[in-house]
Amino acid sequence: MIRALTYALLAFLAITHIAVVGKLSQHENVFPMNEDQDELFVLPSAILKIASFDYKGIVSDYLFIKGIVYIGGSVQKGSSQKFNINESQWCAFYNMMQISTDLDPYFQDPYYIANAFLTWDAGMTREANSLLEKGSRYRNWDWSLPFFSGFNYFFFLNENDKASEWLMEASRRPGASPTIASLASKIAFKASKTENSISFLEEMIKQTEDESMKKMFAGRVEAYKAILDLEKAVDAYQRKFGKKPSTLERLLKNKIILEVPKEPYGGKFYIDSGGNVRTTSENQLMPFQK
């Protein structure tokens, strides 16, 4: 009798326990929190290095995974802005990757991922480059980090000399594609930005494994190729008439081009007052600017 009662009590408690846990989990987030950074707060690396004892590698892995999970969790579906993250949160993410690589400076992923997010999405190219430069110093066998750094200098910061320097560094490392060296010299001689962008982006497509990034680069290559064709047409017009055309229609009228290429982002190509070929969806084509 007592035994049966004990079992009954046990079953009753188990069921109440589940109910209480369910109720409590709804209350978990009622406490006011500083939503901005609490989740991403990390101890300074000098302290963490001491506190992680024999497990620096694992702590570094943990910080990295925590960082990407945070970024991944803030993806907004169907919004124009890809991430629901404000500037201070991006800074906290950068800090986290910085500390993760302080603990293990040879860890490739934080450099790689921070570069992808901080440049295209956060507009923190300088920060991304400082990470990449740290990474290239330690990972002196890896050509991809100086290559990305060179790309950032060229594409986002318009500093061709630095870009060429980093590309030369990349080309000297084992396994680097021979096109990187020629890219470095082309940039150093200030060849057309459009042409360089195409060769650069094509190299990036080769290096990227992520399919959505590949697609993004491919779309840009398409747009730049169209712009390059139009630029060539503008040059041909200038040779023929001695001045740049004011509109694309003039190119059509004079049979220099047969049709205006389709703009892959749904905008329109046009010629600005300086005679440069541009597109109405430039903010799609060009990186995010702060």
Partner 1 sequence: MKVLWPIAYITLKEGIRNRAIYGISLFAFLLLGLNMLIANLAPRDVGKVAVDIALSTISFSGLLIVLFVAINLMAKDLDKKTIHMVLSKPISRSEYIWGKFFGIALILVLTVIFISIFAALSLYILKAGYESFFLRFSWPLVFLAIFFIVMSLILLSALSLLFASFSSTSFITLVLTILTYLVGRSLSDIKALIETASIAGATVSPITAKVVEVAYYIFPNFAFFDIKMNAAHGLSVPIATVFWTVLYCLIYGTLALTAASLVFRRKEFP
Residues interacting with partner 1, by CB under 8 A? 46, 49-51, 53-58, 60-61, 64-65, 68, 104, 106-109, 112-113, 141
Minimum Å distance from CB 189 to partner 1?
Answer: 33
Report in angstroms how near the CB of residue 152 gets to partner 1 at its nearest: 18
Least distance between partner 1 and beta carbon 236 (Å): 45
| Tokens matching residue 105 | 């400076």
For partner 1, give the closer residue by CB, 93 or 107.
107
User: How far is the CA of 31 from the CAs of 26, 36, 41, 92, 176, in angstroms?
Assistant: 11, 14, 18, 22, 52
Sign for the pseudo-dihedral over CA of 48, 50, 51, 52: positive
Give the C-alpha separation, 9 to 13, whole Å.
6
Cα–Cα distance, 140 to 78 (Å, whole number): 40
Query: How many contiguous H segments (helices) and E segments (strands) does the chain have?
Result: 13, 2
For residues 285, 93, 143 and 216, what is the CA-based torsion angle, rounded to 10 degrees? -20
**Alpha carbon 129 to chain centroid distance?**
12
Q: Which is nearer to partner 1, 145 or 285 (CB)?
A: 145
Could you tell me the smallest distance in angstroms from the CB atom of residue 238 to partner 1? 47
Please say which residue, 31 or 53, places its beta carbon nearer to partner 1.
53
DSSP-derived secondary structure letter, 262:
P
Q: Is the CB of 14 or the CB of 57 nearer to partner 1?
A: 57
Rg, C-alpha atoms of the chain:
26
Q: Which is nearer to partner 1, 108 or 281 (CB)?
A: 108
Separation between Cα atoms, residue 243 and residue 279, nearest integer Å: 21
Q: How far is the CB of 156 from partner 1 (least distance, A)?
A: 22
**Min CB(184)–partner 1 separation in Å:** 24
